[in-house]
Amino acid sequence: MDNKPQETRQLHHNSSTSPWRKTASYVSMMLLGAGVAFSGSNLATRMHSSSISTPISPAIAAPIPTTDPNFVANVVERVGPAVVRIESSRTVTTRVPDVFDDPFFRRFFGSQIPRTQQRVQQGTGSGFIISADGRILTNAHVVDGARSVSVVLNDGRRFTGQVLGTDPVTDVAVIKIDADQLPTLTMGNSDQLRPGEFAIAIGNPLGLDNTVTTGIISATGRTSNQVGVADKRVQFIQTDAAINPGNSGGPLLNARGEVIGMNTAILRGAQGLGFAIPINTAQNISNQLIANGRVEHPYVGVQMVALSPELRQEINSNPNNGLRITEDRGVLIVRVLPGSPAARAGLRAGDVIRRVNGQEAATAEVVQRAVENTRVGGQLQLEVSRGGRNVNLALNTGAFPSQLQSQN
């Protein structure tokens, strides 16, 4: 959890890593996703509120019959004007290799060799308008570190965008442009999605504006660990609609043209595997960003993994890990961050969480969701097995440390 997360584009593991570390997920850590395309660096192949629910244009909100063979085209005509391209730039600093400190090079170049070099990276992502006065929803990684953001509307108009707030933990950001009477999108309900439903993605992949791809909802509730971004706190929507670099921040729509998700991640080397942040999650986060400019996430500070008989045997057969496990089920605490809420509550590495708030802790995701469902400062009741005996602990969550968020 204190290590920098792997990017979505690198969803593979070192074969030398032990199995229980491969499956470890972080309670304290939270998309980086995969859709903003940066020159020289491809980041892609790396939660209804009044503030958003502004009056919707009837043309966009109108239901679209799926019996019409051209229903996709109708959706695109209705929602396309509210999908935007986001152009950003950021300064990247790199250190000059130490070899240039060698007297041999100093002999020729003297003291003129700089210690660092800077270059500007240009990136392109997608977004969609959520209020007629110019609020736009996109991914945090689309605008991360950007010194300037330009927003290009479907009609060609260009605006300078102000970043109202970003949340690296969920990969959600809100931008504001100085405009009014803009077309907006209708929000759907991502909690009611079922695998097999139709899905439409619109965005600007690889600089190709207003690209439309279609598919289905392949699955819901994909954990961040399954997607390969263990630092995020999102239950992703999986879709087979094509998502490419530059699609990040664009809308995922249902057959009625309602937004059900925000496209954000792809798996490098995979085909038909795209992921989106549920729109209910994105709305919740964006409302907080609009109101406060930031989001507080409950934080515990442990690294954990679900136990199985095979994993128990693997751990106990390794004399170097210092752990001796007597349980076959539950969630093993692999590591506790010093000074964290977990440490203050008395959790230790090697503890096995059996129940959280009275619910059986069969997987790490059960514990993760229990943490997410508390407020900062809220209390969790844990039943823990320690060395074969039961221990009951009360743990008060803390706020996710900002220095850890900055590492996302």
By annotation, the residues acting in catalysis are 141, 171, 248
Residue 258, token pair as written in the block = 């309602």
Q: Are 165 and 293 in contact (CB under 8 A)?
A: yes
| Rg (the chain; Cα; Å) | 23
Distance between CA atoms of residues 304 and 348, nearest Å: 11
CA 233 to chain centre: 7
User: What are φ and ψ of residue 245, in 5° steps?
Assistant: -55, 130
Q: CA dist 110 to 113, 115, 268, Å?
A: 7, 13, 44
Q: Are 84 and 150 in contact (CB under 8 A)?
A: no
∠ CA 73-75-78 to the nearest 5 degrees?
A: 110
Please enumerate in sequence order all residues whose Cβ is within 8 A of that of 212, keeping only pairs 6 or more positions apart, or say none. Answer: 72, 76, 200, 201, 202
Q: Which residues of 215-233 are buried (b: 16+ CB within 10 A; e: fewer)?
A: bbbbbbebbbbbbbbbbbb
